[in-house]
Amino acid sequence: MRTTIKERAKAFCEKNICVYCGDRKDCDRGCMGCCIPTFSALEWLIQFGKSEHDLLTRWHDPKEIVPNHKWAVLVKLTPSIYDVASYSTEMERWIFVNYSLDREEIIGWREIHE
């Protein structure tokens, strides 16, 4: 399931302290704007940016998890060769433009973000 950066920021913020209420459990003001962690707003932005970067650029092990959607992802064939493919759950194979590969032949995959 794809989520927007705003939704992920809200989820990140919900884990921190509400400036107005002093507690996240009883905050009814909504998350965006009232929540700041125990460090400064600039440090919060840096921390959120780092966590977003890590989330968006991590490689998944295809032996453990495969995409549960039909759109294309970036696939690592060798440490230096990449391609774009989608995973077919029906055939249990990676589908490329001119060929297909078994799940075990792929080193890693990650989402392509705009």
Quote the CA–CA distance of 75 and 78 in Å, as a whole number. 9
**Over residues 20-33, mean pLDDT:** 53
- Per-residue confidence band for 31, with pLDDT thresholds at 50, 70 and 90: very low
pLDDT tens per residue across span 32-58: 445 555 556 667 677 777 777 777 788
Q: Are 8 and 55 in contact (CB under 8 A)?
A: yes
Closest CA to 87 of 107, 105, 101: 101
Q: Length of the chain, please?
A: 114
More reliable by pLDDT, 14 or 69: 69
User: What six digits make up the tokens of 52?
Assistant: 């977003």
Strand partners, 73: 85
In this predicted structure, the answer to whether residue 60 has a pLDDT above a threshold of 60 is yes
Quote the CA–CA distance of 76 and 87 in Å, as a whole number. 13
More reliable by pLDDT, 53 or 89: 89
* pTM of the predicted model as reported, rounded to 2 decimal places: 0.58
